[in-house]
Amino acid sequence: MGFKRYAGVPAIALLSVLACSSTNGAVAPPTSAPPSGVGAPGIGDTDFPLDGNGGYDVAHYDLAIGYTPATKHLDGVATIDAKAAERLSRFNLDLAGLKVRAVSIDGAAATFSRRGDELTVVPARPLAQGAGFKVKVAYSGRPQPLKDSSNLGTFGFIPTADGAFVACEPNGAKTWFPANDHPADKATFDFRITVPKGLTALANGEMAGKPTTSGGRTTFRWRESHPMATYLATATLGDFELREGTTPGGIPNVAAVDPAYHSSLDSLYKTSGRITDYWSKIFGPYPFSSTGGVIDNFAAGYALENQTKPLYGGFHPDESIIAHELAHQWFGDSVSIRRWRDLWLNEGFATYAEWLWWEHTGRSTTEATFRRNHARPANDRIWKYPPGEARPRDLFNESVYTRGGMTLHALRKEIGDETFFKLLKTWTEQHKYGNATTPEFIALAQRLSGKDLQALFDAWLFQPHRPA
Ligand code: ARG
Ligand code: ZN
């Protein structure tokens, strides 16, 4: 993000660095494979061994959530449509805290157990490989956000004075719903969020019908009909002022601000509209059915690119950060990473987008921005930290953003503007609504340019010192 970075732990120089050609696109299987019939407790991201789960693929989450700010109590029923990738006598979901009341599969009661953030579900009879199934989890309790003092700050479902601020990158979706909580398993979402009358609940996608009120509580329905990574799901709720319409280019646009940010409502709406339209020209057609932004009165110290509704945590966003979060709609949200170490594919691209916005608006050319950063002293921490291997405890290191952005500028100079911008559009088109990896990006850049770019990417992404 372009607003504030967390100071990372001091970077340690990598002594043996993988050449980028040796990193293949596949997610490694978990180191100790579980016995047959048992879904793995992790999806196979070796840096985050327990994130996500193996053995099935989620197609859709239907989340019915009731929340009461006064008591911080959440009641939820999650109905998850999934498909078994193998025969399953048991499988896991990720869920942190909260009490599970009942689990059923295709309407039949299932047994379950909890251990750490793993919820293990045992169907009455094993699921056949390839079978579609519906798992329903009824749960409740007080969501507890996750806290990480070194790098991530507070994230997940975060109670606020008037409601909740919900920003879940990297793995905080499990603080408010049972999930296959890893970006490698994307799914569509339906939300039904019930809150005390007078409050507004904001989720991804578009409203599916008008809010309905009864017994002093209002239910908001939202639907995200394009695949979404779990960390991009939100149910941010509280006092909000809304402005709704379309961008000048005709894309539905929703801006919402906590009343404390009343003075930014108009500019958030207009700037988000203008930038969404501009990125649609540069990166390819806007991938989703609406755009917008939400400013909540919670000092998160960061923003998050929640799909269709970037969330700004307790500050008036400027054009740079709006350009950044909206660029993520293409890079991160539509084209998602398959493993966290490739995070520069999100953050380097969104940072470069900020520089493109400055160039477009006459503030500074991308070349000048690149040079300014390249002139940082040799002992600057971005040179020691290879951005192509974002580390689990230091994912959002500044190098992943700034040196990641510089990587794209170095590439642009090497292959020329025409090929570079064609590459960006081809990338967003080829991996639309899917997942991708760094080796796939390098391969596409080489194919479109007809050049061997291994040395360039190796120097920029994988070496612990400043590229020439
Ligand atoms: N992806 C966000 C951005 O670059 C940053 C999210 C940081 N997450 C966190 N838990 N601090 O805009
Ligand atoms: Zn970002």
Question: What tens digit of pLDDT does each residue of 170-191 get?
Answer: 999 999 999 999 999 999 999 9
Name the H helices within 298-384.
319-327, 344-360, 366-374, 381-384
Number of other residues whose CB lies within 10 A of the CB of residue 412: 19
Separation of alpha carbons 242 and 248, rounded Å: 18
Taking the C-alpha atoms of residue 387 and residue 402, their distance in angstroms, rounded to an integer, is 9
User: Cα(419)–Cα(450) distance, rounded to whole angstroms?
Assistant: 10
Span 320-365, pLDDT tens digits: 999 999 999 999 999 999 999 999 999 999 999 999 999 999 999 9
pLDDT tens figures, 29-41: 555 677 889 999 9
Average pLDDT, stretch 252-270? 98
Hey, how many other C-beta atoms are within 10 angstroms of the C-beta on 461? 25
Chain Cα centroid distance, residue 311: 11
Between CA 195 and CA 225 the distance in angstroms is: 23
Domains and CATH numbers, the chain: 2-15+336-462 (1.10.390.10), 56-231 (2.60.40.1730), 239-317 (3.30.2010.30)
- Cα(24)–Cα(268) distance, rounded to whole angstroms? 40
Amino acid identity of residue 70, one-letter, is A
Would the pLDDT of 310 be above 50?
A: yes
Residue 345 CA to ligand 1 center (angstroms) comes to 14
pLDDT confidence tier of residue 148, bands split at 50, 70 and 90: confident
pTM: 0.93
Ligand 2 center–CA 146 separation, angstroms: 19
Measured in angstroms, how far is the CA atom of residue 32 from the centroid of ligand 2? 33
Residue of 170, 165, 201 whose CA lies nearest to 183: 170
Q: Predicted confidence band at 16 (pLDDT cuts at 50, 70, 90)?
A: very low
Task: Tell me the one-letter amino acid at 37.
Answer: G
Q: How far apart are CA 80 and CA 83, in angstroms?
A: 10
Q: Which atom of ligand 1 is nearest to the CA of 155?
A: 10
Question: What confidence score (pLDDT) does residue 6 get?
Answer: 32
Ligand nearest to the CA of residue 311, numbered in listed order: 1
The dihedral through the CA atoms of 22, 27, 29, 31 has a sign that is positive
Query: DSSP strand E in 239-369: where?
Result: 241-246, 252-257, 291-296, 303-304, 311-313, 336-337
The continuous run of DSSP H or E covering 194 comes out as strand 187-196
- 113 falls in which pLDDT band (50, 70, 90)? very high
pLDDT tens readout for residues 416-461: 999 999 999 999 999 999 999 999 999 999 999 999 999 999 999 9
Ligand nearest to the CA of 394: 1
Residue 102: φ, ψ to 5°: -160, 150
Say if residue 385's pLDDT is above 50.
yes
Ligand 1, residues at Cβ distance < 6 Å: 1, 152-153, 155, 169, 302-305, 324-325, 347, 396
> Confidence band (pLDDT; 50, 70, 90) for 151?
confident
Among 89, 261, 265, 61, smallest CA distance to 176 is for 61
